[in-house]
């Protein structure tokens, strides 16, 4: 496979996509300012939050208000892959890809109104931990923890690295390795040091930058084509100059402005969009660690709902911010963005199957004036960094709380903090090692596959969570076999997809029928149905789950009184500080009270042994001011659950939120109907 990445000079002049080799000094100044700003926010949030406890580090102390939560949900979701991918699919096939975004509008609300109350009542930090409490046994938790880490490393990190690399390399002509190592170094600093709080606050800043930059570019591009009417008429004339006669290659799709498309022959069939897309979407928004962890960090349920509403409103924008600019890019540069001849495409961007991925970077470089270009570069880097930090933090939470605690159940809190931070560093190294693979895959359709991986691996997990939360009779055996059978089928389909790639435009389709006629969205529906049936049948044939596996762990039992476990004797550390636990509805988490009680307050007291100043500084940076001795004293005590968070909401706040929920759903339905 040839990659143009290494030799941009060999490209013939007319096909050189980004002729301008360097950024102007103003643009570079904007970029530098942006980095300084992000680091400042990251360091400020490290100062502000308590990051020396497990809960402070992994759940931001459960003290976040609604707007950073909403902004962080949006920033974690919209990565650089979104800018490149959505604009690319807009250029290639019209607005249909918006369906993914608008599906998310409803799913993020389902999270806040239906799933979060259950997770909060259950008092969990990670999603595999919820399944362990709900079904008992260790195998589901281990199985899922490993699957989640696999999905993160193989799909999310690599997609974002690919899109970020494409941008840095093609548009800026920087050396890829140096650029990515610098980016990851900056992100690792505040992710390792500050934990979830730092990630959420910097995400809020990144969201603001992304919105300002993307809206600016949107305005410029709409002005260029003459508004929405101009887009609708000119898009169908955006045909490349060289294409095979009497074939449809390179022609815009006739249904480009429809979200609902033919159920049999189209690229996104409408029943698949309504049902098959919703299932992986529910997995992503309601059971994915990255998203749920942001919501769990909220002060209480009302703040979490407010954050979800904010995200849902923001999800309206991608059609106008990303998809339509991608279509405009095709109108302005049809020969480059919409190239139809495999040879020419290979010359332009090194990908014989099409160059729609360059749509967004091309717009940025061509349309924007000096200064704004630097802003847009920082937007793309913001998108890359915010998604990566979110994944780093969540993956390290899963590794620490599910896998490490399983192998070392009696480990101290100090040890958990160290493991969590080291794992983030490990992930940064993994991401850097991904780059050569990403570059090799640029020529092939690697990233189309990665999107469909989600349709093959996520439905079984989603169905197990939904049944676990809303059906009391589901038990461990049912859930386990539902997962195993569903994932086996998914993996088989994945392998088939890799063996028989989709033919290029104009070639005959020689794939077997199950791959050729079964769209991946339809496959996701079948997979979900098979997993659900397996869980139902096996659960009904085996013994029902015990009382403690249902109490406070399903929708119908979320209000049960917690089972008392001699908690009255040990006062909680917060009670000691004079804060009544009921007034502070944060999420409980199993950590040894003794170690939480141990000096949070005597920061950086130098030890009698005379610890070196350097060590003290290093420990401060990691938020581990408390000395190891305390942790060792605390280690033998068995962790006790803290008193449980309350699910109460103030009536007025609740009504405001519910009215907003209705408004948001109506807005979503209107958009679906208007563009269907």
Q: The whole model's pTM is what?
A: 0.80
- Three-state SS at 298: strand
Report the alpha-carbon distance of residue 168 to residue 141 in Å, rounded.
38
Supply the DSSP symbol for 612: -
- Three-state SS at 269: strand
Q: In this predicted structure, what is the pLDDT of residue 600?
A: 38
Report the alpha-carbon distance of residue 161 to residue 152 in Å, rounded.
12
| Helix ranges, 399-475 (H) | 405-407, 413-441, 446-470
| pLDDT, tens digit (0-9, with 9 covering 90-100), for 90-149 | 888 888 888 888 999 999 999 999 999 999 888 888 898 899 999 988 899 999 999 888
Tell me if 359 sits within 8 A of 87, measured CB to CB: yes
Report the alpha-carbon distance of residue 468 to residue 479 in Å, rounded.
8
Q: How far is CA 385 from the centre of its chain?
A: 12
Q: In this predicted structure, what is the pLDDT of residue 10?
A: 39
Six-digit token pair at 539? 């659960």
Q: In this predicted structure, what is the pLDDT of residue 626?
A: 52
Number of other residues whose CB lies within 10 A of the CB of residue 611: 15
Report the alpha-carbon distance of residue 608 to residue 300 in Å, rounded.
41
Tell me if 520 sits within 8 A of 490, measured CB to CB: no
Q: In this predicted structure, what is the pLDDT of residue 374?
A: 84
- Name which of 92, 166, 18 is nearest 353 in CA terms: 92
Q: In this predicted structure, what is the pLDDT of residue 594?
A: 35
Ranges of the chain with pLDDT below 50 = 1-13, 443-444, 566-610, 627-644
Q: In this predicted structure, what is the pLDDT of residue 15?
A: 62
Q: In this predicted structure, what is the pLDDT of residue 440?
A: 65
Tell me if 88 sits within 8 A of 326, measured CB to CB: yes
């Amino acid at each position: 496979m040839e990659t143009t990445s290494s030799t941009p000079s060999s490209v013939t002049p007319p096909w050189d996509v980004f002729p301008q080799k360097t950024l102007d000094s103003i643009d570079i100044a904007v970029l530098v300012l942006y980095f300084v700003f992000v680091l400042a926010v990251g360091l400020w949030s490290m100062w502000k939050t308590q990051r020396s406890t497990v809960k402070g580090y992994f759940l931001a102390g459960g003290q976040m208000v609604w707007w950073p939560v909403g902004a962080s949900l949006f920033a974690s979701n919209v990565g650089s892959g979104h800018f490149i991918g959505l604009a690319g699919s807009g250029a290639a096939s019209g607005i249909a890809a918006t369906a993914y975004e608008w599906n998310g509008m409803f799913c993020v609300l389902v999270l806040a109104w239906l799933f979060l109350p259950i997770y909060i009542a259950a008092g969990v930090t990670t999603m595999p931990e919820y399944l362990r409490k709900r079904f008992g046994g260790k195998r589901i938790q281990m199985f899922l923890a490993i699957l989640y880490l696999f999905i993160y490393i193989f799909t999310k990190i690599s997609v974002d690295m690919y899109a970020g690399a494409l941008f840095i390399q093609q548009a800026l002509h920087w050396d890829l390795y140096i650029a990515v190592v610098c980016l990851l170094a900056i992100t690792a600093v505040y992710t390792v040091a500050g934990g979830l709080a730092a990630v959420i606050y910097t995400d809020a800043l990144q969201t603001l930058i992304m919105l300002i930059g993307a809206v600016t570019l949107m305005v410029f591009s709409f002005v260029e084509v003459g508004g929405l009417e101009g887009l609708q008429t000119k898009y169908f004339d955006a045909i490349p100059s060289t294409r095979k006669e009497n074939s449809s290659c390179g022609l815009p799709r006739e249904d480009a402005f429809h979200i609902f498309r033919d159920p049999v022959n189209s690229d996104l069939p409408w029943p698949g969009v309504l049902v098959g897309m919703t299932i992986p979407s529910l997995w992503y928004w309601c059971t994915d660690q990255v998203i749920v962890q942001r919501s769990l960090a909220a002060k209480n349920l009302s703040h979490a709902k407010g954050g979800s509403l904010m995200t849902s409103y923001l999800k309206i924008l991608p059609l106008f911010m990303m998809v339509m600019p991608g279509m405009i890019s095709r109108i302005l540069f049809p020969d480059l963005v919409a190239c139809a001849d495999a040879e020419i495409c290979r010359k332009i961007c090194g990908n014989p199957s099409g160059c729609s991925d360059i749509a967004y970077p091309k717009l940025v470089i061509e349309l924007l004036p000096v200064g704004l270009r630097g802003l847009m570069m920082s937007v793309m880097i913001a998108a890359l960094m915010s998604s990566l930090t979110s994944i780093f933090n969540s993956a390290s939470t899963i590794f620490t709380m599910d896998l490490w605690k399983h192998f070392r159940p009696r480990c101290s809190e100090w040890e958990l903090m160290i493991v969590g931070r080291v794992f983030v560093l490990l992930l940064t190294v993994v991401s850097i090692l991904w780059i050569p693979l990403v570059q090799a895959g640029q020529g092939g359709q690697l990233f189309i596959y990665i999107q469909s991986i989600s349709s093959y691996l996520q439905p079984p997990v989603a169905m197990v969570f939904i049944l676990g939360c809303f059906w009391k009779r589901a038990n461990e055996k049912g859930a386990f076999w539902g997962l195993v059978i569903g994932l086996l089928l998914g993996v088989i389909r994945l392998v088939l997809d890799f063996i028989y790639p989709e033919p290029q435009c104009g070639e005959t389709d020689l794939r077997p029928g199950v791959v050729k006629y079964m769209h991946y969205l339809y496959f996701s529906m079948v997979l979900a149905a098979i997993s659900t049936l397996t869980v139902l049948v096996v659960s009904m044939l085996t013994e029902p789950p015990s009382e403690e596996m249902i109490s406070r762990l399903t929708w119908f039992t979320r209000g049960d009184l917690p089972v008392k476990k001699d908690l009255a004797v040990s006062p909680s550390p917060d009670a000691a500080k004079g804060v009544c636990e009921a007034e502070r509805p944060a999420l409980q988490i199993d950590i040894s009270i003794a170690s939480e009680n141990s000096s949070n307050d005597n920061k950086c007291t130098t030890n009698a042994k005379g610890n070196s100043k350097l060590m003290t500084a290093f420990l401060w940076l990691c938020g581990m001011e408390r000395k190891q001795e305390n942790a060792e004293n605390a280690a033998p005590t068995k962790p006790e659950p803290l008193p449980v968070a309350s699910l109460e909401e103030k009536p007025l706040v609740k009504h405001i939120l519910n009215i907003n929920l209705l408004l948001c759903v109506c807005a979503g339905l209107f958009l679906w109907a208007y563009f269907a």
